[in-house]
Structure 1
Amino acid sequence: MSKENKGNEDIAAMSFEQAMDQLEKIVASLETGDVPLNQSIEIYERGEALKLHCERLLKAAEDRIEKIRLDRSGAAAGTEPLDAD
């Protein structure tokens, strides 16, 4: 296991909401400037891991939504991009 992944094993099991909550707390603590430098680096690295996890979860959700498109009768009619106009 790489040094940067040490202590972040729990992130993979988090829901999007749990990861975002922790990420928001990390940002708030870093913004205050009251955290020692070494701890700031550690929580920044955890924040990066949380951000990547959230991005992966969002991409997976977008992919699922993109696969679902219903026709007028309610049957699946194919796919279209999530942000199609």
Structure 2
Amino acid sequence: MTDDLSSLSFEDALNELEKIVHNLETGQQKLEEAIVSYERGALLRRYCEKKLNEAEARVKMIVEKDNQSLDTETIE
């Protein structure tokens, strides 16, 4: 189940998670289906958090790199 997460984009994973949450909120699933959905939702949530953390780290590196080059340009 976790193997197929790596092929998902952040947006696709988030959309699937939103559908799961909606289905769980309606209460229309049988108990076993709801448990399986909840497990999948937990995996998707962790996957989305990981992707967001990775994106945040990349943006931080870009900002730091830009700030360093600005500092260098200002000093010269």
TM-score range for the pair, normalised by the shorter chain length: 0.7 to 0.9
Looking at both structures, which has the greater relative contact order when contacts are Cα pairs under 8 Å and sequence separation is at least 6?
2
CA separation in 1, counterparts of 2:51 and 2:14? Answer: 11
TM-score (norm 1): 0.73
Aligned residues: 69
Aligned to 1:36: 30
Cα RMSD, aligned residues only: 1.8
Quick one: percent identity of the two aligned structures?
A: 41
* Larger relative helix fraction: 2
* Deviation per residue, 1:17-75 (Å, 9 max, x gap): 0000000000000000000000000000000000000000000000000001224xxx7
Alignment gaps of 5+ in structure 2: 72-76
TM-score (norm 2): 0.82
CA separation in 2, counterparts of 1:77 and 1:68? Answer: 12
CA separation in 2, counterparts of 1:19 and 1:66? Answer: 23
**Secondary structure of 1:34 counterpart:** coil
